[in-house]
Amino acid sequence: MSRIRKTDPEVDLCYVALYCRVSTDEQAREGVSLDEQQERLKAYCRAMGWSDHVQVFVDDGFSAKNLDRPELKRLIQAVKNGSVSRIMVTKLDRMSRRLLDLLNLIDLFQDYEVSFVSISESFDTNTPSGRLTLQVLGAVAEFERERIRERVFENMFHAANTGKWLTQSPYGYDLVDKSLVINDKEAEIVRRVYDLYLNEGLGFYSIAKGLNEEGVPSRQRKEWSIRAIKLMLTNPAYKGTLVWNRKDSSKSQRKDKDIAEWVTVEDCLPIIIEKSVWERVQNRMGQITMAPRAKSSPHLLGGLLRCGKCGSGMSIGFSGSPSKRYRVYRCSANKNKGTCTSKQYRADSVEEWFKEGLVQLMEDTSGILMIMVKDAAVKSEREQLEQKVNTAKARYKRKIEAYTSGLIELEDLNEEKERLDQILLDLEKMSRGEVETVDMEQLQQELNDKVNNIISAIDILPVEQAKGIIQTFIQYVVIHGDKDIEIKLQPI
C-alpha cells in the first residue's frame, strides 16, 4: 500500500531531485563530469517544464558499489519527509550498480509515490514498461560491475606476483615506477621502532609518545599513534614479503579474508628488517604481556612474580613498624582470599635473589638451560615452517585456478609447485632431525647478551625502564621459598 505523502513545511511544493555521482576512478578513466550531469538533467527539466522546483544532490568521489553515500542518504531522507516528487539521473548506474540496491530504492520511492527517471535509458518507473526496463538494465549494470572487478583483480594479481607495489608506499619506502625503494632516513626510524619494541621492551604507546616528543614526523606529518606503531610492527613488507588481497573492502567494516585468498610473494621487496627479527616481534605480540598497571609499578618484579604454592600473582605491600617500614611481596590469594598459606617475602631480598639467578643463568655449565632454549627455538622454527607450508599450499591452489583460467603460463605453475615441494622437503628434514636449524654458538652469545643487558638495566636504569627490558627475555618468576626461585624465559 502506498503511503500518503506529506509536504515539507519548508517548501510549498514537492521538488524534483537531480542526483549526480562520480567516483574518482570513473572520472579518471571515462572523463565523467558532475557539471555535465547537472547540465543535462537541468536541460531535460526545462524541456519538460519541471524547472521551477529543482534541487541537486551531488556525491563527488563515491563508488556505486554500496549505498553509503552522504548525499544519497540525504535524498532518501527527503523522500521519507515527503519533499520529493520525482528523482532524476543521467544514467542508471549513477544511482547504483547493484540490482538489489536499485530494487530496494525503487520500492522505497514507490512507497512514497516518487517516480524515478533515467534520461539516457528513457524510462520512468511510473510505467510498467519502465519498471521492467529498470530490472533488465540493473542486471546488466551489476554484471558489468562484476566484470570490472574481475579484470581489476586479474591485473593486480599479476602486478603482485611480479613484485609491483599496488598502493601508497609504507613508511620507510618511496614509490618509484610502481616499485618500492628504501628511504634511508625513514628506514632508520623503522629499525629503531623494532628495536625499542623487541629489545627495550617498550609498548606501542611508549614508542609513539617518544617519537612525538622528539618531533619525528610521520608520513602524513601527523603525530604518531598506537595504531600507526602496531601497523608498522606487523607489516610484512619490511621483511621483503608482499601480501595483497588480505582485506575484504566490500563491507562497511573491513575484515581479513581467509588466508587461502591472500596473494603472498616472498623475497620480492627491499628488506629493512631481517626476517628473524620480524618473526620475533610477531611472537612477542602473541605472548601474554604484563598488565599496563604492573608495567608502571615502581617495583622490579611487580607483575612478574608468582606464588610457588598456588600460582597466583604476588602483589607488593608494606610491613614493619611505622618508623621502619619495608616492602614485601605477598601472595594475592593469601592476601585477598586467605586460600593460600604462602608467607610474605621482603622485596629487597627477592629482587637480590632474582639478580643472583640471572648470574647463574650465565654461568650454567651443565648445558641444561641451553638444551631448553634450543628446544624452544626449534619448536618456534617448526611452527614458522608449518605456517609457510600452509601459505605455500594456498598459493599453489590459487596458481592452479589462475592457470585454468588462462591467466598464467604452465611454467609459472611449475615454479610454484617446485617452491611448495622444497618447503615440504625442508619440513620433512626437520622432522627427521637431518638439519641443524639452530646455531648453538650464536644462541649462547645471544643468551649471554640478554642476561648482561638485564643485569645492567637493573643496576643503571629506572625501575620502569628496566622492567620493559626484563620482559623481553623473561615471562615470569616463581618463588618457592627462601633463595629458591624459578625463572621462566621467553622463547628466543
Residue 363 pLDDT: 67
Residue 62 has pLDDT above 80, yes or no: yes
Give the mean pLDDT of 225-253. Answer: 80
Backbone dihedral region for residue 344 (phi beyond 0: left; psi -120 to 50: alpha; all else: beta): beta
For residues 234 and 414, what is the distance between their CA atoms, to the nearest angstrom?
31
* Mean pLDDT, residues 364-369 taken together: 56
| pTM beyond 0.85, yes or no | no
Asked if pLDDT for residue 39 goes beyond 70, the answer is yes
C-beta of residue 211 within 8 angstroms of C-beta of residue 232: no
Question: What is the rounded distance in angstroms from the CA atom of residue 105 to the CA atom of residue 270?
Answer: 49
| 34 pLDDT above the threshold of 50 | yes
Q: Which CATH number fits domain 173-286: 2.40.40.20, 3.90.1750.20, 3.40.50.460, 3.40.50.620?
A: 3.90.1750.20
Q: Which CATH class is domain 15-148?
A: alpha beta
% of the chain beyond a pLDDT of 90: 17
Catalytic residue of the set 23, 63, 179, 218: 23
Mean pLDDT of the 384-411 span: 78
- At 271, the pLDDT band (50, 70, 90 cuts) reads very high
CB 305 within 8 A of CB 314: yes
The pLDDT value recorded for residue 189 is 94
Do residues 249 and 213 lie in contact, with contact meaning Cβ atoms separated by under 8 Å? no
Query: Is the pLDDT score of 289 beyond 70?
Result: no
Q: Is the pLDDT of residue 74 over 70?
A: yes
pLDDT given for residue 58 in this prediction: 93
What's the whole-number mean pLDDT along residues 437-448? 64
Looking at residues 408-422, what average pLDDT do you find?
Answer: 84
Shortest CA distance to 218 belongs to which of 186, 179, 248, 262?
186
The mean per-residue pLDDT over the stretch 308-326 comes to 84
Answer yes or no: is pLDDT of 8 > 50.
no
The mean pLDDT value for 235-253 works out to: 74
Task: Work out the average pLDDT over 408-414.
Answer: 81
Q: Give the pLDDT of residue 295.
A: 54
Query: Which pLDDT tens digit goes with each residue over 158-217?
Result: 666 666 787 788 999 998 888 889 999 999 999 999 998 887 778 888 899 899 999 998
Q: Domain spans of the chain?
A: 15-148, 173-286, 292-366+444-489
Residues, the chain, total?
Answer: 492
User: What local confidence, expressed as pLDDT, does residue 77 receive?
Assistant: 94
Closest by CA position to 314, among listed 294, 286, 285, 292 = 294
pLDDT for residue 351 = 85
Q: Is the pLDDT of residue 381 over 50?
A: yes
pLDDT at 244: 72
Q: Do domains 15-148 and 173-286 have the same CATH topology?
A: no
pLDDT at 443 over 90: no
Residue at grid coordinates 563530469: 33
27 has a pLDDT exceeding 70: no
pLDDT of residue 264: 73
H, E, C per residue of the chain:
CCCCCCCCCCCCCCEEEEEEEECHHHHHHHCCCHHHHHHHHHHHHHHHCCCCCEEEEEEECCCCCCCCCHHHHHHHHHHHCCCEEEEEECCHHHCCCCHHHHHHHHHHHHHCCCEEEECCCCEECCCHHHHHHHHHHHHHHHHHHHHHHHHHHHHHHHHHHCCCCCCCCCCCEEEECCEEEECHHHHHHHHHHHHHHHCCCCCHHHHHHHHHHHCCCCCCCCCCCHHHHHHHHHCHHHHCCEEECCEECCCCCCEECCHHHCEEECCCCCCCCCHHHHHHHHHHHHCCCCCHHHHCCCCCCCCCEEECCCCCEEEEEEECCCCCCEEEEEEHHHHHCCCCCCCCEEHHHHHHHHHHHHHHHHCCCCCHHHHHHHHHHHHHHHHHHHHHHHHHHHHHHHHHHHHHCCCCCHHHHHHHHHHHHHHHHHHHHHHCCCCCCCCHHHHHHHHHHHHHHHHHHHHHCCHHHHHHHHHCCEEEEEEEECCEEEEEECCC
The 3-class SS string of 329-386 reads EEEHHHHHCCCCCCCCEEHHHHHHHHHHHHHHHHCCCCCHHHHHHHHHHHHHHHHHHH
What's the mean pLDDT in 18-46? Answer: 80
Cα–Cα distance, 471 to 370 (Å, whole number): 19
Q: How confident is the model at residue 2 (pLDDT cuts 50, 70, 90)?
A: very low
* Rounded Cα–Cα distance for residues 200 and 212 (Å): 18
- Angle formed at CA 243 by CA 241 and CA 247, multiple of 5 degrees: 155
Active site residue 23: yes
Residue-averaged pLDDT of the chain: 78
Taking only the tens place, the pLDDT of each residue in 322-353 is 888 888 888 888 877 777 888 888 888 888 88
What confidence category does residue 437 fall into, taking pLDDT thresholds of 50, 70 and 90? low
Provide the pLDDT for residue 489. 74
